[in-house]
Amino acid sequence: MSSDTDGTVPALIALGETMVLLAPPDATRLHDADQVRLTIGGAESNVAAHVAALGHHSAWIGALGDDVLGRRVHRTLTELGVDTRWVVFDPDAPTGVYFKDPGHGVLYYRAGSAASRMTADGVAHLPLEHAAIVHLSGITPALSQGCADLVDAVIDRVREAGRGELSFDVNHRAPLWAAADAAPVLLRLANRSDIVFVGLDEAHTLWGSGTAEDVRSLIPEPAHLIVKDGDVGATEFSGDDTVFVPAIPTEVVEAVGAGDAFAAGWLAARLAGAPAEERLQGGHRRAHLVLQSTEDVVGIAPTEALA
């Protein structure tokens, strides 16, 4: 596992916001909890952490407040084996915070965060063209216009290099932007990507899609489109091939973070050269772990095998 100080280029680079996460240590509702546990979470860094645990060199790129919470995020990701050498600390903005209310969603305190102040200006010095996979999500363009420009700049850079694959998780977050505003932006970004993850429920909310095949008709460009249907399973469209793998039966504690875990399991299998069925199985296994916890990056230990 590469450290955050060596000179090697990560196999996967994920870019976005990471926040401090506060959640009850069990399934207790937030308003009944006497204690909360402080961990971290963010769609893209969750992916990087899981991919690192599965034995691949991964990096997370983002901005944190130059504060105690930002240092906690940075330290935790580094301890999880994620390469953090390109992280920026902003002295003029805070690190975002969110609370999980088990089984009832999340509460965000991220307005004006350091990550929301990211722009396309810093893209030139990043080694994006050398990574096998660059992973983004639909959360980042919702944070600010600067972040939206950043996402397009990253995609442009990867596209121009013509080497690695661009992975995009649609990840529509209703508290950040309404479906009517998000729908055209997320559809455009999805069709500019090589690998796309989307939940059938969010596809229905955004574009009115009723089936995985409907989603494919709207998003024909990616070489790999993965449509997740909750506890039913996931369908992968790759060229002319379609593969469905059922989900692992799970007693759900909290669903937030499971989509990131699924994407990471799939991407790690992709990096290992696995076929479609094994990629989907890898995604389900990671999601199964997270669904049983209030943490986003549960069950992670560096050098964990891709079994």
Neighbours of 17 (CB within 10 A): 26
| 14 closest CA partner among 127, 131, 134, 128 | 134
Q: What domain range includes position 166? A: 12-291
Task: Please state the rounded mean pLDDT for residues 218-246.
Answer: 97
Label residue 294 by pLDDT band (50, 70, 90): low
Has residue 184 been placed in a domain? Answer: yes
CA atoms within 13 A on the CB side of 297: 31
Is 281 part of any domain? yes
- Could you tell me if residue 195 is inside a domain? yes
- 2 is a domain residue: no
Q: Please identify every residue annotated as catalytic.
A: 260
When comparing pLDDT for 27 and 302, which is higher? 27
Domain CATH code at residue 153 = 3.40.1190.20
Residue 5: the pLDDT is 40
Q: How far apart are CA 111 and CA 106, in angstroms?
A: 15
The DSSP code sequence of 32-93 is G-S--EEEEE-HHHHHHHHHHHTT--EEEE-EEESSHHHHHHHHHHHHTT-B-TT-EEETTS
In a domain, 178, yes or no: yes
Cβ atoms of residues 269 and 236 within 8 Å: no
pLDDT tens across 65-118, in order?
Answer: 999 999 999 999 999 999 999 999 999 999 999 998 877 888 899 999 999 999
- Provide the domain count of the chain: 1
The type of residue at 124 is: A
Whether 300 is covered by a domain: the verdict is no
Residue 212 lies in a domain: yes
200 within a domain of the structure (yes/no):
yes
Residue 34 has what pLDDT? 87
Q: How many percent of the chain have pLDDT more than 70? A: 92
